[in-house]
Structure 1
Amino acid sequence: MADKNILMVLTSHSEMENTDSKTGVWLGEFTDPYYEFIDAGYTVTLSSPKGGRPPVDPMSELTEHITGANRRFGDDTIAKHAFSHTIPLNQLAAEVYDAVFYPGGHGPIWDLAKDNNSGLLILEFLDSGKPVALVCHGPAALISVENQRQGWLQNKRIAAFSNTEETLVGRSGNVPYLLQTKLEELGAEVKTALVPFLSHIEVDGLLVTGQNPLSAGPAAKALIQLLQA
Protein backbone atom coordinates (compact mmCIF):
# COMPACT_ATOMS: atom_id res chain seq x y z
CA MET A 1 0.00 0.00 0.00
CA ALA A 2 1.58 3.25 -1.16
CA ASP A 3 2.32 5.95 1.36
CA LYS A 4 -0.33 8.67 1.50
CA ASN A 5 0.10 12.30 2.48
CA ILE A 6 -2.59 13.62 4.80
CA LEU A 7 -3.05 17.30 5.54
CA MET A 8 -4.57 18.25 8.90
CA VAL A 9 -5.93 21.79 9.28
CA LEU A 10 -6.14 23.15 12.83
CA THR A 11 -7.77 26.31 14.16
CA SER A 12 -5.68 29.36 15.18
CA HIS A 13 -8.51 30.90 17.22
CA SER A 14 -8.62 30.84 21.04
CA GLU A 15 -11.10 33.54 22.19
CA MET A 16 -14.68 32.72 23.22
CA GLU A 17 -17.44 35.35 23.50
CA ASN A 18 -18.80 36.75 26.81
CA THR A 19 -16.32 34.72 28.87
CA ASP A 20 -12.67 34.53 29.90
CA SER A 21 -12.63 30.82 28.96
CA LYS A 22 -10.31 29.95 26.09
CA THR A 23 -10.86 27.55 23.22
CA GLY A 24 -8.70 26.22 20.39
CA VAL A 25 -8.03 22.71 19.08
CA TRP A 26 -9.78 19.93 21.01
CA LEU A 27 -6.65 17.86 21.59
CA GLY A 28 -8.16 14.38 21.23
CA GLU A 29 -9.79 15.34 17.93
CA PHE A 30 -6.29 15.99 16.64
CA THR A 31 -4.37 13.16 18.33
CA ASP A 32 -6.88 10.32 17.72
CA PRO A 33 -6.97 10.85 13.91
CA TYR A 34 -3.27 11.73 13.77
CA TYR A 35 -2.28 8.32 15.11
CA GLU A 36 -4.84 6.53 12.93
CA PHE A 37 -2.98 8.03 9.94
CA ILE A 38 0.51 7.44 11.35
CA ASP A 39 -0.32 3.82 12.20
CA ALA A 40 -1.65 3.32 8.65
CA GLY A 41 1.81 4.34 7.42
CA TYR A 42 0.73 7.77 6.17
CA THR A 43 2.68 11.01 6.31
CA VAL A 44 0.86 13.83 8.12
CA THR A 45 1.39 17.56 7.57
CA LEU A 46 -0.11 20.07 10.02
CA SER A 47 -1.43 23.47 9.00
CA SER A 48 -3.41 26.37 10.49
CA PRO A 49 -4.55 29.82 9.32
CA LYS A 50 -1.79 31.66 11.22
CA GLY A 51 0.85 28.91 11.27
CA GLY A 52 2.96 28.10 14.32
CA ARG A 53 1.52 26.44 17.42
CA PRO A 54 -2.28 26.41 17.50
CA PRO A 55 -4.07 27.11 20.78
CA VAL A 56 -5.36 24.03 22.63
CA ASP A 57 -8.72 24.08 24.40
CA PRO A 58 -7.80 23.79 28.11
CA MET A 59 -10.90 21.63 28.74
CA SER A 60 -9.55 19.01 26.34
CA GLU A 61 -6.48 18.59 28.55
CA LEU A 62 -8.52 17.78 31.68
CA THR A 63 -8.07 14.23 32.95
CA GLU A 64 -11.57 13.04 31.99
CA HIS A 65 -10.97 14.00 28.36
CA ILE A 66 -7.47 12.53 28.02
CA THR A 67 -7.34 9.79 25.38
CA GLY A 68 -4.67 7.15 24.84
CA ALA A 69 -3.64 9.14 21.78
CA ASN A 70 -3.19 12.27 23.95
CA ARG A 71 -0.81 10.37 26.22
CA ARG A 72 1.08 9.04 23.21
CA PHE A 73 1.34 12.58 21.83
CA GLY A 74 2.78 13.75 25.16
CA ASP A 75 5.76 11.41 24.63
CA ASP A 76 6.13 12.01 20.87
CA THR A 77 8.78 14.66 20.17
CA ILE A 78 8.25 14.48 16.38
CA ALA A 79 4.50 15.09 16.65
CA LYS A 80 4.94 17.83 19.25
CA HIS A 81 7.48 19.59 17.04
CA ALA A 82 5.09 19.42 14.06
CA PHE A 83 2.25 20.75 16.24
CA SER A 84 4.38 23.72 17.33
CA HIS A 85 5.33 24.55 13.72
CA THR A 86 2.15 24.27 11.64
CA ILE A 87 2.39 25.65 8.10
CA PRO A 88 0.25 28.73 7.35
CA LEU A 89 -2.75 27.80 5.18
CA ASN A 90 -1.83 30.29 2.47
CA GLN A 91 1.43 28.38 1.81
CA LEU A 92 -0.26 25.07 0.91
CA ALA A 93 -1.06 23.37 -2.38
CA ALA A 94 -3.76 20.66 -2.38
CA GLU A 95 -2.09 18.64 -5.14
CA VAL A 96 0.68 17.53 -2.74
CA TYR A 97 -1.82 15.72 -0.47
CA ASP A 98 -4.19 12.77 -0.82
CA ALA A 99 -6.77 13.93 1.74
CA VAL A 100 -7.46 16.64 4.32
CA PHE A 101 -8.77 16.32 7.89
CA TYR A 102 -10.19 19.12 10.06
CA PRO A 103 -10.30 18.49 13.84
CA GLY A 104 -12.63 20.59 15.99
CA GLY A 105 -12.56 22.50 19.20
CA HIS A 106 -14.69 25.64 19.13
CA GLY A 107 -12.06 27.71 17.26
CA PRO A 108 -13.13 26.81 13.68
CA ILE A 109 -16.53 28.50 14.08
CA TRP A 110 -14.62 31.80 14.16
CA ASP A 111 -11.59 31.45 11.89
CA LEU A 112 -12.03 28.50 9.50
CA ALA A 113 -15.68 29.39 8.83
CA LYS A 114 -14.49 32.66 7.27
CA ASP A 115 -11.09 31.58 5.90
CA ASN A 116 -11.08 31.87 2.09
CA ASN A 117 -7.85 29.85 1.77
CA SER A 118 -9.52 27.01 3.66
CA GLY A 119 -12.72 27.12 1.61
CA LEU A 120 -10.79 27.08 -1.66
CA LEU A 121 -8.55 24.28 -0.36
CA ILE A 122 -11.52 22.04 0.47
CA LEU A 123 -13.01 22.64 -2.99
CA GLU A 124 -9.65 21.88 -4.59
CA PHE A 125 -9.53 18.51 -2.79
CA LEU A 126 -13.11 17.57 -3.65
CA ASP A 127 -12.86 18.77 -7.26
CA SER A 128 -9.74 16.58 -7.67
CA GLY A 129 -11.58 13.52 -6.32
CA LYS A 130 -9.80 13.59 -2.96
CA PRO A 131 -11.64 12.99 0.34
CA VAL A 132 -12.22 15.64 3.00
CA ALA A 133 -13.05 14.89 6.66
CA LEU A 134 -14.18 17.33 9.37
CA VAL A 135 -15.11 16.64 12.99
CA CYS A 136 -17.17 18.33 15.73
CA HIS A 137 -16.81 22.11 15.11
CA GLY A 138 -14.49 21.40 12.16
CA PRO A 139 -17.47 21.31 9.77
CA ALA A 140 -17.71 25.08 10.34
CA ALA A 141 -15.04 25.18 7.61
CA LEU A 142 -17.81 24.15 5.19
CA ILE A 143 -19.39 27.58 5.67
CA SER A 144 -16.37 29.07 3.88
CA VAL A 145 -16.85 26.50 1.08
CA GLU A 146 -20.46 27.68 0.74
CA ASN A 147 -19.21 31.29 0.52
CA GLN A 148 -16.97 30.28 -2.39
CA ARG A 149 -19.64 28.23 -4.16
CA GLN A 150 -23.22 29.29 -3.43
CA GLY A 151 -25.63 26.39 -2.95
CA TRP A 152 -22.84 23.88 -2.39
CA LEU A 153 -24.16 22.81 1.04
CA GLN A 154 -27.69 22.21 -0.28
CA ASN A 155 -28.76 18.65 0.69
CA LYS A 156 -25.26 17.68 1.85
CA ARG A 157 -25.55 15.03 4.56
CA ILE A 158 -23.41 16.18 7.48
CA ALA A 159 -22.64 15.31 11.09
CA ALA A 160 -21.50 18.19 13.32
CA PHE A 161 -21.54 19.24 16.97
CA SER A 162 -25.25 19.44 17.74
CA ASN A 163 -27.25 22.24 19.33
CA THR A 164 -28.09 19.84 22.18
CA GLU A 165 -24.40 19.14 22.80
CA GLU A 166 -23.58 22.87 22.69
CA THR A 167 -26.21 23.49 25.35
CA LEU A 168 -25.00 20.56 27.48
CA VAL A 169 -21.36 21.74 27.48
CA GLY A 170 -22.64 25.15 28.64
CA ARG A 171 -21.06 27.12 25.81
CA SER A 172 -24.09 28.06 23.72
CA GLY A 173 -23.85 31.63 25.09
CA ASN A 174 -20.14 31.92 24.20
CA VAL A 175 -20.39 31.27 20.46
CA PRO A 176 -21.46 33.60 17.62
CA TYR A 177 -23.92 31.02 16.24
CA LEU A 178 -24.98 27.40 16.75
CA LEU A 179 -23.16 25.29 14.17
CA GLN A 180 -26.01 22.84 13.55
CA THR A 181 -28.49 25.69 12.99
CA LYS A 182 -26.11 27.58 10.69
CA LEU A 183 -25.39 24.53 8.52
CA GLU A 184 -29.12 23.76 8.30
CA GLU A 185 -29.87 27.36 7.30
CA LEU A 186 -27.37 26.92 4.46
CA GLY A 187 -29.27 23.86 3.23
CA ALA A 188 -27.30 21.00 4.80
CA GLU A 189 -29.05 17.97 6.25
CA VAL A 190 -27.44 17.62 9.70
CA LYS A 191 -27.68 14.10 11.16
CA THR A 192 -27.04 13.48 14.87
CA ALA A 193 -26.56 10.50 17.17
CA LEU A 194 -29.66 9.47 19.13
CA VAL A 195 -27.75 10.15 22.34
CA PRO A 196 -25.55 13.29 22.67
CA PHE A 197 -21.77 12.74 22.75
CA LEU A 198 -21.94 9.25 21.25
CA SER A 199 -19.84 8.69 18.14
CA HIS A 200 -21.64 9.47 14.89
CA ILE A 201 -20.22 9.94 11.41
CA GLU A 202 -21.72 10.60 8.00
CA VAL A 203 -20.11 9.78 4.64
CA ASP A 204 -21.56 11.68 1.68
CA GLY A 205 -19.46 10.90 -1.38
CA LEU A 206 -15.96 12.18 -0.63
CA LEU A 207 -17.15 14.16 2.39
CA VAL A 208 -16.70 12.55 5.84
CA THR A 209 -18.06 14.38 8.89
CA GLY A 210 -18.09 13.45 12.57
CA GLN A 211 -20.33 14.85 15.30
CA ASN A 212 -18.15 15.17 18.41
CA PRO A 213 -14.82 14.19 20.05
CA LEU A 214 -15.68 10.47 20.11
CA SER A 215 -16.28 10.63 16.34
CA ALA A 216 -12.74 11.80 15.49
CA GLY A 217 -11.07 8.37 15.36
CA PRO A 218 -13.98 6.79 13.43
CA ALA A 219 -13.96 9.70 10.94
CA ALA A 220 -10.23 9.13 10.36
CA LYS A 221 -10.90 5.40 9.80
CA ALA A 222 -13.65 6.29 7.29
CA LEU A 223 -11.21 8.62 5.48
CA ILE A 224 -8.62 5.82 5.34
CA GLN A 225 -11.27 3.49 3.86
CA LEU A 226 -12.04 6.04 1.14
CA LEU A 227 -8.32 6.33 0.36
CA GLN A 228 -7.96 2.56 0.12
CA ALA A 229 -11.07 2.06 -2.00
Structure 2
Amino acid sequence: MRILKISAALLTIATSFALPPSASAQSRGKVLVVMSSTHELALRDGKKYATGYYLNEFVVPYRKLVEAGYEPVIANPNGDMPVMDVNSNNKMFFGGDELARAEAEKYVQTITQLQHPKMLAAVAADGGKGYVGLFIPGGHAPMADLLKDRNLGKILASFHQTGRPTGIICHGPVVLLSALSDPDAFLASMRANDGKANALAAGWPYAGYRLTVFSTGEEQQLEGPSGLGGNVEFYPVNALAEAGAHVDTVANWHSNVIVDRELITGQQPMSAPEFGDVLVRQLNARHR
Protein backbone atom coordinates (compact mmCIF):
# COMPACT_ATOMS: atom_id res chain seq x y z
CA MET A 1 0.00 0.00 0.00
CA ARG A 2 1.38 3.39 -0.98
CA ILE A 3 1.88 6.00 1.72
CA LEU A 4 1.57 9.72 1.10
CA LYS A 5 4.65 11.68 2.14
CA ILE A 6 3.91 14.93 3.99
CA SER A 7 6.61 17.39 4.95
CA ALA A 8 7.79 16.82 8.51
CA ALA A 9 7.69 20.57 9.08
CA LEU A 10 3.91 20.39 9.00
CA LEU A 11 3.74 17.69 11.64
CA THR A 12 4.15 19.70 14.79
CA ILE A 13 1.94 17.61 17.07
CA ALA A 14 3.73 14.88 19.02
CA THR A 15 1.74 12.40 21.08
CA SER A 16 2.97 10.49 24.12
CA PHE A 17 1.87 6.89 24.56
CA ALA A 18 3.10 6.06 28.03
CA LEU A 19 1.10 3.28 29.67
CA PRO A 20 -2.23 4.75 30.83
CA PRO A 21 -3.09 5.02 34.52
CA SER A 22 -5.61 2.56 35.90
CA ALA A 23 -9.17 3.38 34.91
CA SER A 24 -11.37 4.84 37.59
CA ALA A 25 -13.19 2.21 39.64
CA GLN A 26 -16.32 4.31 39.15
CA SER A 27 -17.09 4.95 35.49
CA ARG A 28 -18.04 8.51 34.63
CA GLY A 29 -20.36 7.12 31.98
CA LYS A 30 -20.41 5.32 28.66
CA VAL A 31 -19.26 7.05 25.48
CA LEU A 32 -20.54 5.60 22.22
CA VAL A 33 -17.72 5.17 19.67
CA VAL A 34 -19.17 4.81 16.17
CA MET A 35 -16.94 3.32 13.48
CA SER A 36 -17.35 2.30 9.85
CA SER A 37 -17.96 -1.24 8.62
CA THR A 38 -16.54 -0.58 5.17
CA HIS A 39 -13.13 -1.52 3.78
CA GLU A 40 -13.09 0.64 0.68
CA LEU A 41 -14.20 3.96 -0.72
CA ALA A 42 -15.63 4.39 -4.20
CA LEU A 43 -13.84 7.09 -6.21
CA ARG A 44 -14.74 8.76 -9.48
CA ASP A 45 -14.23 6.78 -12.68
CA GLY A 46 -15.02 3.50 -10.92
CA LYS A 47 -11.81 3.39 -8.90
CA LYS A 48 -11.63 2.08 -5.32
CA TYR A 49 -9.44 3.02 -2.37
CA ALA A 50 -8.77 0.50 0.42
CA THR A 51 -9.54 2.35 3.62
CA GLY A 52 -10.64 2.10 7.25
CA TYR A 53 -10.19 4.12 10.44
CA TYR A 54 -7.11 6.28 11.01
CA LEU A 55 -4.92 4.91 13.79
CA ASN A 56 -4.15 8.11 15.68
CA GLU A 57 -7.64 9.59 15.18
CA PHE A 58 -9.08 6.54 16.91
CA VAL A 59 -6.48 5.67 19.53
CA VAL A 60 -5.50 9.13 20.80
CA PRO A 61 -9.03 10.30 21.76
CA TYR A 62 -10.04 6.78 22.84
CA ARG A 63 -7.18 6.59 25.34
CA LYS A 64 -7.94 10.05 26.65
CA LEU A 65 -11.54 8.95 27.28
CA VAL A 66 -10.39 5.85 29.17
CA GLU A 67 -7.82 7.76 31.22
CA ALA A 68 -10.48 10.35 32.15
CA GLY A 69 -12.68 7.59 33.56
CA TYR A 70 -15.15 7.11 30.72
CA GLU A 71 -16.20 3.75 29.28
CA PRO A 72 -16.04 3.64 25.46
CA VAL A 73 -18.53 1.33 23.75
CA ILE A 74 -17.81 0.60 20.08
CA ALA A 75 -20.60 0.19 17.52
CA ASN A 76 -20.80 0.05 13.73
CA PRO A 77 -23.42 -0.77 11.07
CA ASN A 78 -22.72 -4.49 10.71
CA GLY A 79 -21.34 -5.40 14.12
CA ASP A 80 -18.14 -6.54 12.42
CA MET A 81 -14.51 -5.73 13.16
CA PRO A 82 -13.45 -2.30 11.87
CA VAL A 83 -10.27 -2.26 9.82
CA MET A 84 -7.45 0.24 9.97
CA ASP A 85 -6.32 2.24 6.96
CA VAL A 86 -2.77 0.92 6.61
CA ASN A 87 -1.62 4.33 5.40
CA SER A 88 -2.39 5.71 8.85
CA ASN A 89 0.03 3.33 10.58
CA ASN A 90 2.87 5.78 10.11
CA LYS A 91 4.98 7.79 12.53
CA MET A 92 4.21 10.98 10.57
CA PHE A 93 0.85 11.04 12.35
CA PHE A 94 2.58 10.81 15.74
CA GLY A 95 4.89 13.79 15.35
CA GLY A 96 7.54 11.58 13.72
CA ASP A 97 7.78 9.46 16.89
CA GLU A 98 8.18 5.78 15.92
CA LEU A 99 7.77 4.64 19.54
CA ALA A 100 4.45 6.46 19.84
CA ARG A 101 3.26 4.85 16.62
CA ALA A 102 4.26 1.37 17.78
CA GLU A 103 2.59 1.86 21.17
CA ALA A 104 -0.61 3.05 19.48
CA GLU A 105 -0.65 -0.03 17.26
CA LYS A 106 -0.10 -2.24 20.30
CA TYR A 107 -2.83 -0.47 22.25
CA VAL A 108 -5.38 -1.18 19.50
CA GLN A 109 -4.69 -4.88 19.90
CA THR A 110 -5.77 -4.69 23.56
CA ILE A 111 -9.23 -3.34 22.69
CA THR A 112 -11.10 -6.63 22.55
CA GLN A 113 -14.49 -5.07 21.80
CA LEU A 114 -13.16 -4.06 18.37
CA GLN A 115 -13.63 -7.71 17.42
CA HIS A 116 -17.37 -7.66 18.19
CA PRO A 117 -18.85 -4.14 18.14
CA LYS A 118 -22.48 -3.48 18.92
CA MET A 119 -24.73 -2.96 15.92
CA LEU A 120 -25.93 0.58 15.30
CA ALA A 121 -29.49 -0.67 14.89
CA ALA A 122 -29.46 -1.93 18.48
CA VAL A 123 -28.16 1.42 19.75
CA ALA A 124 -30.68 3.37 17.65
CA ALA A 125 -33.58 1.29 18.94
CA ASP A 126 -33.59 3.22 22.20
CA GLY A 127 -32.25 6.49 20.80
CA GLY A 128 -28.76 5.98 22.17
CA LYS A 129 -29.92 6.27 25.77
CA GLY A 130 -27.39 5.40 28.43
CA TYR A 131 -24.48 7.20 26.75
CA VAL A 132 -23.07 10.49 28.01
CA GLY A 133 -21.24 11.28 24.77
CA LEU A 134 -20.46 10.24 21.22
CA PHE A 135 -17.10 9.91 19.46
CA ILE A 136 -16.57 9.18 15.76
CA PRO A 137 -13.03 8.81 14.37
CA GLY A 138 -12.14 9.58 10.77
CA GLY A 139 -10.34 8.05 7.86
CA HIS A 140 -12.12 7.90 4.50
CA ALA A 141 -14.29 4.96 5.57
CA PRO A 142 -17.17 7.03 7.05
CA MET A 143 -17.66 8.57 3.59
CA ALA A 144 -18.65 5.14 2.29
CA ASP A 145 -21.30 4.04 4.79
CA LEU A 146 -21.84 6.16 7.90
CA LEU A 147 -22.80 9.35 6.04
CA LYS A 148 -26.03 7.69 4.85
CA ASP A 149 -26.71 5.29 7.72
CA ARG A 150 -30.27 5.92 8.93
CA ASN A 151 -29.60 4.33 12.33
CA LEU A 152 -26.72 6.73 12.91
CA GLY A 153 -29.00 9.56 11.81
CA LYS A 154 -31.44 8.63 14.56
CA ILE A 155 -28.64 8.42 17.12
CA LEU A 156 -27.25 11.82 16.11
CA ALA A 157 -30.71 13.37 16.33
CA SER A 158 -31.08 12.05 19.88
CA PHE A 159 -27.69 13.43 20.94
CA HIS A 160 -28.52 16.75 19.28
CA GLN A 161 -31.88 17.03 21.02
CA THR A 162 -30.41 16.24 24.43
CA GLY A 163 -27.24 18.33 23.98
CA ARG A 164 -24.87 15.47 24.73
CA PRO A 165 -21.25 16.05 23.59
CA THR A 166 -20.70 14.77 20.05
CA GLY A 167 -17.05 14.61 18.96
CA ILE A 168 -16.14 13.86 15.34
CA ILE A 169 -12.77 14.19 13.61
CA CYS A 170 -11.26 14.44 10.09
CA HIS A 171 -13.60 12.96 7.43
CA GLY A 172 -15.89 11.93 10.27
CA PRO A 173 -18.01 15.12 10.36
CA VAL A 174 -19.47 14.19 6.97
CA VAL A 175 -21.56 11.59 8.85
CA LEU A 176 -23.70 14.44 10.15
CA LEU A 177 -25.40 14.17 6.75
CA SER A 178 -26.99 10.93 7.97
CA ALA A 179 -29.34 13.14 10.03
CA LEU A 180 -30.86 14.57 6.83
CA SER A 181 -34.42 13.54 6.01
CA ASP A 182 -33.14 11.83 2.83
CA PRO A 183 -29.35 11.46 2.86
CA ASP A 184 -29.34 9.25 -0.24
CA ALA A 185 -31.04 11.92 -2.36
CA PHE A 186 -28.72 14.60 -1.01
CA LEU A 187 -25.61 12.55 -1.77
CA ALA A 188 -26.85 11.69 -5.25
CA SER A 189 -27.25 15.42 -5.88
CA MET A 190 -23.73 16.13 -4.62
CA ARG A 191 -22.27 13.46 -6.91
CA ALA A 192 -24.25 14.79 -9.87
CA ASN A 193 -23.46 18.40 -8.97
CA ASP A 194 -26.98 19.31 -10.12
CA GLY A 195 -27.49 22.24 -7.73
CA LYS A 196 -30.37 20.60 -5.84
CA ALA A 197 -28.49 19.55 -2.70
CA ASN A 198 -29.21 22.68 -0.66
CA ALA A 199 -32.96 22.33 -1.14
CA LEU A 200 -32.76 18.65 -0.18
CA ALA A 201 -31.13 19.62 3.14
CA ALA A 202 -34.19 21.43 4.53
CA GLY A 203 -34.66 20.70 8.22
CA TRP A 204 -31.12 19.42 8.84
CA PRO A 205 -30.47 19.59 12.61
CA TYR A 206 -26.95 21.00 12.18
CA ALA A 207 -27.85 23.87 9.85
CA GLY A 208 -26.07 26.99 11.10
CA TYR A 209 -23.52 25.05 13.16
CA ARG A 210 -19.89 26.11 12.92
CA LEU A 211 -17.63 23.10 12.37
CA THR A 212 -14.50 21.83 10.66
CA VAL A 213 -13.68 18.79 8.53
CA PHE A 214 -10.85 17.47 6.35
CA SER A 215 -10.16 20.40 4.04
CA THR A 216 -10.42 20.43 0.27
CA GLY A 217 -6.74 21.35 0.02
CA GLU A 218 -5.77 18.37 2.16
CA GLU A 219 -8.00 16.07 0.13
CA GLN A 220 -6.49 17.28 -3.12
CA GLN A 221 -3.02 16.51 -1.79
CA LEU A 222 -4.16 12.93 -1.19
CA GLU A 223 -5.78 12.40 -4.57
CA GLY A 224 -2.52 11.84 -6.43
CA PRO A 225 -0.92 8.48 -7.30
CA SER A 226 0.93 8.29 -3.96
CA GLY A 227 -2.34 8.65 -2.02
CA LEU A 228 -5.86 7.74 -3.09
CA GLY A 229 -4.91 7.14 -6.68
CA GLY A 230 -8.05 8.92 -7.84
CA ASN A 231 -10.58 11.63 -7.01
CA VAL A 232 -13.26 11.53 -4.33
CA GLU A 233 -16.84 11.80 -5.53
CA PHE A 234 -17.28 15.08 -3.65
CA TYR A 235 -15.40 17.10 -1.05
CA PRO A 236 -16.63 16.97 2.57
CA VAL A 237 -16.29 20.74 2.93
CA ASN A 238 -18.66 21.32 0.01
CA ALA A 239 -21.21 18.75 1.16
CA LEU A 240 -21.45 20.12 4.70
CA ALA A 241 -21.65 23.69 3.43
CA GLU A 242 -24.43 22.75 1.00
CA ALA A 243 -26.32 21.16 3.89
CA GLY A 244 -26.15 24.45 5.79
CA ALA A 245 -23.10 24.29 8.06
CA HIS A 246 -20.52 27.05 8.45
CA VAL A 247 -17.30 25.15 7.65
CA ASP A 248 -14.02 26.65 8.87
CA THR A 249 -10.66 25.10 8.00
CA VAL A 250 -7.09 26.25 8.64
CA ALA A 251 -3.81 25.71 6.76
CA ASN A 252 -3.25 22.13 5.63
CA TRP A 253 -2.05 19.70 8.31
CA HIS A 254 -2.34 22.15 11.23
CA SER A 255 -4.43 21.32 14.29
CA ASN A 256 -7.91 22.81 14.28
CA VAL A 257 -10.72 22.01 16.72
CA ILE A 258 -14.07 23.79 16.82
CA VAL A 259 -16.80 23.63 19.46
CA ASP A 260 -20.33 24.78 18.71
CA ARG A 261 -22.98 23.82 21.23
CA GLU A 262 -22.77 20.02 21.70
CA LEU A 263 -20.66 19.47 18.58
CA ILE A 264 -16.84 19.13 18.74
CA THR A 265 -15.05 18.72 15.40
CA GLY A 266 -11.37 18.26 14.46
CA GLN A 267 -9.94 18.92 11.00
CA GLN A 268 -7.47 16.06 10.39
CA PRO A 269 -4.99 13.64 12.05
CA MET A 270 -2.81 16.47 13.39
CA SER A 271 -5.83 17.65 15.40
CA ALA A 272 -6.23 14.35 17.29
CA PRO A 273 -4.44 15.27 20.56
CA GLU A 274 -6.20 18.64 20.88
CA PHE A 275 -9.50 17.12 19.79
CA GLY A 276 -9.25 14.40 22.46
CA ASP A 277 -8.53 16.96 25.17
CA VAL A 278 -11.45 19.15 24.14
CA LEU A 279 -13.84 16.19 23.94
CA VAL A 280 -12.92 15.12 27.47
CA ARG A 281 -13.25 18.69 28.71
CA GLN A 282 -16.76 19.00 27.24
CA LEU A 283 -17.77 15.67 28.74
CA ASN A 284 -16.40 16.68 32.13
CA ALA A 285 -18.26 20.00 32.02
CA ARG A 286 -21.54 18.22 31.38
CA HIS A 287 -20.74 15.58 34.01
CA ARG A 288 -20.39 18.28 36.67
TM-score when normalising by structure 2? 0.73
**Which residue number corresponds to residue 160 of structure 2?**
126
On the 8 A contact 1:166/1:172 being kept in 2, the answer is no
Aligned-partner Cα distance in 1 for 2:209–2:107? 39
Query: Residue 89 of structure 1: which of 109, 120, 141 is its match?
Result: 120
Structure 2 alignment gaps of length 5 or more: 1-25, 183-201
Letter of the 1:98 counterpart: V
On the 8 A contact 1:28/1:70 being kept in 2, the answer is no
**Which residue number corresponds to residue 220 of structure 2?**
167
Query: Residue 179 of structure 2: which of 133, 138, 145 is its match?
Result: 145
**Which residue number corresponds to residue 67 of structure 2?**
39
**Residue 86 and residue 164 in structure 1: after superposition, are their counterparts in 2 closer, same or farther (change >3 A)?**
same
Aligned-partner Cα distance in 1 for 2:108–2:155? 29
Give the RMSD, CA atoms, in angstroms: 2.1
Aligned-partner Cα distance in 2 for 1:76–1:177? 31
* SS in structure 2 of the partner of residue 228 of structure 1: helix
* SS in structure 2 of the partner of residue 7 of structure 1: strand
Aligned-partner Cα distance in 1 for 2:101–2:27? 24
Q: CA deviation at 1:177?
A: 1.2
Deviates more, 1:59-68 or 1:218-227: 59-68
Q: Please say if 1:64 is aligned against 2:64.
A: no
**Which residue number corresponds to residue 106 of structure 2?**
74
Letter of the 1:105 counterpart: G
**Which residue number corresponds to residue 185 of structure 1?**
242
Q: Please say if 1:55 is aligned against 2:83.
A: yes
Deviates more, 1:103-112 or 1:124-133: 124-133
Aligned residues: 227
| Deviation per residue, 1:85-138 (Å, 9 max, x gap) | 211111114111100001000011121110010011011112122111110111
| Deviation per residue, 1:189-214 (Å, 9 max, x gap) | 10011x20111011000111110012
Question: Percent identity at matched positions?
Answer: 31
**Which residue number corresponds to residue 191 of structure 2?**
none
| Deviation per residue, 1:157-183 (Å, 9 max, x gap) | 011001101001124944221100111
Structure 1 alignment gaps of length 5 or more: none
**Residue 62 and residue 111 in structure 1: after superposition, are their counterparts in 2 closer, same or farther (change >3 A)?**
same
**Which residue number corresponds to residue 258 of structure 2?**
202
Letter of the 1:74 counterpart: K
Letter of the 2:283 counterpart: L
**Which residue number corresponds to residue 114 of structure 1?**
148
* SS in structure 1 of the partner of residue 281 of structure 2: helix
**Residue 131 and residue 55 in structure 1: after superposition, are their counterparts in 2 closer, same or farther (change >3 A)?**
same
> Rg larger in 1 or in 2?
2
